[in-house]
Chains A and B, each alone.
Chain A
Amino acid sequence: MAVKSYPICCVQAAVEVIDTAAEKDAVIARNLDRSLIIAEGAVAREGARVIVFPEGWLQGHNHTRSAEDWRDICIQIPGLETARMGEFARQHDVYLAGAAFERDLDWPDMWFSTGFIVGPSGSVELRYRKIQEHNVEGAIPNVSPADVHSEYVERYGEDSLFPVLDTRFGRLAVMVENDVNFFELARVFAFHGAEIYLHPTAEDNGPRNTAWDQARRSRCYENLCYFATANIGQSSGAASAAFATRGGSSVIDYQGGWVARIEGPGESLVTAEVNLERLRRRRTETRMNYPAQVKSELFGKEFAKRTMMPLDTGPASRDTGKAAIRRLQDEDVIVPP
């Protein structure tokens, strides 16, 4: 039986960054303990039922990491950390979501930024690997399932790409950080039934802040869904500016309006209502019902005609993105300056 409305919480975590791989376990344990005790506050005070943590909140970002360092600080999902979260979820009858740098020991050369949900069962109930990954920009040497699509689908199955978890708190999906800028991905999740998008993120200050906020709100309006975004609040580490990330964790409703929002960076949390029943009513109205009105067949055809970033580009390198631009220029889709 679905709950009609419930509080959802975004934990804007203060993250201790893993600076040397040897400290990995201790740092992760401290980050996890800290975020769970804060989450417990949201459960105790506000009755939060779904709680979202930021992207990379267990491990933090350090730009001086080598490719090997990155692999070394990865966790497994499921693994020790999600087991610890599972105890909490079972104890409090809640869902916990976040994103972490993850390596699958069956495929050890690859590592992903992986969103996941741990449920009251105590287990990992959803695992989603970030698709619109920054590796194509050369920023981080991880892998998107799209980079290794054929093998990925062979290993995990086609359905593993866009998982949606059906719960009494609505149908939950996870999109990670940069994913939010790609409406196609949000739409595909809607096609798969998603109602509440949990969005672990790690967003720096930069010239496109406002655009990202707008994109987040647009995703809600055009898919008639909720968004719960948890950004990193602050970082401490040898190579980290404390307030490099801009906070702004928020809950957004299906009209694209902020239900609640943290105005700045710093360790914080925000809890706000998700009205699932009202969302479901809204989705039965015909006017401006975009997921039902979209001409999927038409756009399926159009999108198939033009490859933007191809699949199966292989493990990432900076050239992947540059090569895509050159090809789009060669095909005369974009004009070189």
Chain B
Amino acid sequence: MTMITPYTAVAVQTVIRHVKDPAWRDEIVRENVNRSLSLMDYVSHRFGAAKLFVLPEFSLTGAEHLRTVDEWTKVALQIPGPELDPLAQFARDNDAYVGGGTMEYDPNYPGRWFNSAYLFGPTGELLIRYRKINGADVQGHTTYSTPPALYDLYVKTEGGEDALFPVVDTPIGRLGVINCYDINFPEMVRTFALHGAEVLLHVTGEPYSPHRDIWEMSRRTRAFENIMYIISANHGGYVAQIAGDTFADAPGLNFQQRMEGEIAPLQRSHGGSKIVDFNGNVVGQSQSPGEALALGSIDIEALRERRAEINGNILAQVRSELYAKEYARHRASPLNRWLDHPIQDRSEGSLNTREVIERYIRNGVYVAPEGYEFQTEEDESADRRATA
């Protein structure tokens, strides 16, 4: 095994042009790609060569939450695909790795779309295609499918269960990708660790909200408890399309005209892209929203040495068999919830969670607060398609 010398990783915090009108998709995607490439070029001019670049979640199209599934299948990109080629080319030209998030359509899954991530390697080859596992299916804000929602079909189509958790072994360490909300499920990052991941790219899109400080904590806890680097790239901004190639930050627009694009504030993302080391310490970060670059050094040998020590080595201490049993016999969010009928309406995701909450109350996992009124029937409809 050859030594891996420390290298620079970059979380590229872009300001995204949002595709509101599908007619302008190609132009806007190209603009987002080009601006991302400029920022990545700037890194080598200003800081010298970097090995690993991470772009935010859905950073090429934005996320139109109210768009129909049918329309999303047309707006979303394919991975790989012509829109992403310039990013693959950059990886080839710079002997680097480039990862990021994009909404994705795959003709193998008609009537569905995914919130996905890609990673290109120095040959320009696609190394990873990851589809977000936790999100719309439990939150109810949009309509992308998650692999667990169609688990049996997905595993069959992709040739195995490992397809959900792709990890690639490279000359700069073992890399994996997760997407946004995934970070709050410790099981996700643990599973990637069990698949060998040493560096986890976290493509994300986090607006300001009461939860954000806590997500910062999640990032650091995940890195610590898995002895893993986490590179988290968030949006620096999210600019609405008003009409044609005019965006909400164009000079001269009055307030009313801005509102025609989207009511969200221009600076709705909190930025804060960062690199967290395997002790859970932040080693590089952007302190603000807006376009920014967060650079940090990744030392794979130091990580491997840490993983070879027993003191505080959580990975080697987990009594996994004990917990696996408990997880297996417990029924939280089911697999195959949308196996037969792709999710159509964003309310279905929250209904999915409502069903589990009410089952929990009925089974005594949760205690209902005073005056709680049930919204689902006791026939446990959520379990109809559960395989457990």
Contacts and interface: CB of A to CB of B under 8 A. Distances in A.
A170 B387 CA distance: 32
B194 A306 contact: yes
B367 A195 contact: yes
Contacts of B161: 301-302
A181 B191 contact: no
B165 A302 contact: yes
Interface stretch (A8-16, A35-43, A261-269, A328-336): A328-336
Contact of A292 (B140, B353, B372): B353
A141 to B, nearest CB: 15
Interface residues of B, number: 83
B117 to A, nearest CB: 18
A136 B333 CA distance: 34
Most buried by B among A139, A294, A297: A297
A56 B336 CA distance: 47
A222 B184 contact: yes
Interface stretch (B47-55, B254-262, B300-308): B300-308
A181 B347 CA distance: 35
A257 B216 CA distance: 13
Nearest to A277: B369
B184 A290 contact: yes
Most buried by A among B220, B321, B386: B321
A299 B191 contact: yes
Contact of A146 (B224, B313, B322, B332): B322
Contacts of A307: 320-321
Given A136-B310, A297-B388, A308-B316, A303 B324 contact: yes
B328 interface: yes
Nearest to A212: B224
A137 interface: yes
B277 to A, nearest CB: 11
B310 A322 contact: yes
A108 interface: no
B315 interface: yes
B327 A286 contact: no
B357 A335 contact: no
B357 A211 contact: no
A337 interface: yes
Interface stretch (B66-74, B99-107, B245-253, B358-366): B358-366
A64 interface: no
Contact of B364 (A132, A193, A286, A289): A193
B198 interface: yes
B169 to A, nearest CB: 9
B134 A337 contact: no
Nearest to B335: A297
A288 interface: yes
A208 interface: yes
Interface in B362-388: 364-370, 372, 386-388
B323 A184 contact: yes
Looking at chain B's contact residues, the main secondary structure is helix
B318 A256 contact: no
A162 B326 contact: yes
Contacts of B314: 181-182
Contact of A296 (B151, B193, B327): B327
Given A138-B310, A334-B307, A222 B185 contact: yes
A92 interface: no
A161 B317 CA distance: 17
A297 B317 contact: no
Contact of B319 (A139, A288, A309, A318): A309
A131 interface: yes
Contacts of B350: 286-287
Interface in B164-222: 164-165, 174, 184-187, 190-191, 193-194, 196, 198, 210-211, 214, 217-218, 220-221
B280 interface: yes
Nearest to B161: A301
A215 B225 contact: yes
Given A307-B321, A333-B194, A284 B366 contact: yes
Nearest to A282: B369
A214 B310 CA distance: 21
Given A191-B326, A294-B185, A131 B148 contact: no
B333 A296 contact: yes
A45 interface: no
A296 B165 contact: no
Contact of A336 (B164, B304, B316, B367): B304
Given A308-B317, A328-B316, A337-B305, A303 B330 contact: no
A294 B369 contact: no
Interface of B: 1, 133-134, 138-140, 148, 151, 161, 164-165, 174, 184-187, 190-191, 193-194, 196, 198, 210-211, 214, 217-218, 220-221, 224-225, 279-281, 301, 304-305, 307-308, 310-335, 350, 353-354, 356-357, 360-361, 364-370, 372, 386-388
Top 5 A-B pairs ranked by shortest CB distance? A300-B328, A300-B327, A303-B324, A321-B310, A184-B323
Given A214-B224, A297-B327, 18 more contacts: A136-B317, A182-B317, A184-B319, A191-B365, A214-B217, A218-B221, A280-B369, A283-B360, A288-B139, A290-B185, A295-B148, A296-B332, A298-B148, A300-B325, A303-B320, A306-B194, A334-B304, A335-B1
8 contacts: A171-B367, A188-B323, A256-B217, A293-B138, A293-B139, A293-B356, A300-B329, A302-B187
